Structure 1
Amino acid sequence: MTYSDTTIWWIIAILGVGTFLIRFSFIGLIGSRPMPPWVLRHLRYTSVAILPGLVAPLVAFPAATGGTPDPARLLAAAVTVGIGYWTKGVVRAMLGGAITLFAVQYMLG
């Protein structure tokens, strides 16, 4: 299927307006009002719910290995989860996982 340049630009513009309206509905219309405590409690878990969905494909099917699971990345992910669970610190967990990934890749060649 091929689209003309005009059609592609219309699709981009419509998606841009849609994205703006979705964000404006929360920020512009509700942003100045206090939110109920139950909403704030649920919003705390947004990043915890989204990050694994973004990272899991990069660990399970990394582009660097042609989509084949890699022991270095699997070990780094396990270390990241372990450090995060043990210390409850996101930055420490990410640093531990990154150091593990680079160290294992260095050792494996």
Structure 2
Amino acid sequence: MTEMSAITLWALIVALGIGTFLIRYSFMGLLGGRELPEWVLRHLRYTSVAVFPALIAPLVLWPAATGGTPEPARLSAAAVTLVVGILTKNVVLSVALGGVTLYAVMALLG
């Protein structure tokens, strides 16, 4: 692999910075002062519901700590977190009980 020159590196950093700015500005700058339609607001409510499972599922099903092999401790913690979240609708309680479950099962299994 060849080494990247300083000019190329800085050009890449500037280009990525401009691209990131334009992506954010398209939402905040152009739409920030306007009232969004109800259907857009309704769909935006589901963003976190879609993003969090997409971030967490690989960590539970293919954890890097075990070389990609699912383990009972992580699966148990995910199941407890899901069930408590559905039953109580309390994010803090579900995450706390999921964490307790993770460490308890890890301690039991050694």
Q: Give the TM-score, by structure 1 length.
A: 0.91
Q: How far apart in 2 are the matches of 1:66 and 1:4?
A: 35
Query: Shift of the alpha carbon at 1:9?
Result: 2.4
Aligned to 2:83: 82
Q: How far apart in 2 are the matches of 1:106 and 1:13?
A: 48
Q: Give the TM-score, by structure 2 length.
A: 0.90
Return 5+ residue gaps in structure 1 as ranges: none
Q: How far apart in 2 are the matches of 1:5 and 1:81?
A: 48
Q: How far apart in 1 are the matches of 2:102 and 2:34?
A: 44
Aligned to 1:20: 21
Aligned-residue Cα RMSD (Å) equals: 1.3
Q: How far apart in 2 are the matches of 1:70 and 1:107?
A: 13
Query: Shift of the alpha carbon at 1:23?
Result: 0.5
Q: How far apart in 1 are the matches of 2:74 and 2:86?
A: 18
Q: How far apart in 1 are the matches of 2:9 and 2:83?
A: 45
Q: How far apart in 2 are the matches of 1:69 and 1:4?
A: 42
Deviations 1:23-60 (A, max 9, x none): 11111111111111111111000011011111111111
SS in 2 for 1:83: helix
Please list every run of at least 4 consecutive aligned residues from structure 1 whose deviation after the TM superposition is greater than 6 angstroms: none
Number of residues of Structure 1 aligned to a counterpart in Structure 2: 109
Q: How far apart in 2 are the matches of 1:24 and 1:46?
A: 19
Q: How far apart in 2 are the matches of 1:106 and 1:5?
A: 49
Identity of aligned residues (%): 62
